[in-house]
Amino acid sequence: MERLGREQAGTLCRCPVGQETRTPPECSICYNTYDNVFKTPKLLECTHTFCLECLSRLMAVSGDDQEGNSHTARLSCPFCRHPTTLPEDGPPALTTSHEVLCKLPSHQQQEEPVWLEGEKLCYKTTNEMDSSDSPSALCICIDIGANKPSDTPAQTPRNSGRLERLREWKRMVLFITLMVLLIVIMLSCFWEIMKPLCTL
């Protein structure tokens, strides 16, 4: 998987000079600015563009729905719902939008190698003097896995009725306490007003 990412990486943007924009383009899902690593702009078959991280998270969430349905993974566009067949290596192998990449600052216009490893997107950083296989290279991974449902059992309806009655009872006690406190304060104020009149 890493090999494919490295083949795609290193493609330098060939765009007209001065194509960079003042406000860098951003992903329409997460509203983060695109970059050349985890936020690389990727094209779907419908030509909508989203960042690699969002598409990977979307794949992780929708992957559970597709298990057993077909052998090819498909991803629905969040805008138009047009299905896109994912490459074998997942979202990192989708076509990069060089049109968007060219609008980034010049130091981000070269796509970096990112690969999918289970439920993680990984990227290997290197110093300019070192090769990517050197011991000083640092591998950065981000988790794109879907949130797992909790293992706690759901409340049974029988217990929830008792809890609801208990909550109502507590609310009623709080309401009565506040009303008694309000009446005491009002009587105290009334007594202070009436006290001078009673002494006459």
Q: Are 191 and 184 in contact (CB under 8 A)?
A: no
Per-residue pLDDT of 44-90, as tens digits, reads 999 999 999 999 999 888 865 555 555 678 899 999 999 999 999 89
Q: How many Å apart are CA 126 and CA 113, to the nearest integer?
A: 11
What is the domain count for the chain? 2
Q: Residue 97 above 80 pLDDT?
A: yes
Q: Residue 171 above 90 pLDDT?
A: no
Which CATH number characterizes residue 24's domain? 3.30.40.10
Give Cα separations from 100 to 54, 105, 141 (angstroms).
16, 11, 24
Supply the pTM of this predicted model. 0.60
- The answer on 103 and 136 residing in a single domain is yes
122 forms bridges with which residues in the sheet? 115, 141
User: What percentage of residues in the chain have a pLDDT greater than 70?
Assistant: 70
Q: How many Å apart are CA 10 and CA 6, to the nearest integer?
A: 7
- The answer on 55 and 29 residing in a single domain is yes
Q: How many Å apart are CA 144 and CA 57, to the nearest integer?
A: 5
pLDDT value, residue 157: 52
Q: Are 88 and 72 in contact (CB under 8 A)?
A: no
List the structure tokens of 154: 């759901």
- The answer on 170 and 120 residing in a single domain is no
pLDDT value, residue 9: 47
Whether residue 137 is contained in a domain is answered as yes
> Diameter of the chain by CA atoms?
101
- The answer on 198 and 110 residing in a single domain is no
pLDDT value, residue 7: 42
Per-residue pLDDT of 8-51, as tens digits, reads 444 445 555 555 557 889 999 999 999 999 999 999 999 999 99
User: What percentage of residues in the chain have a pLDDT greater than 90?
Assistant: 40
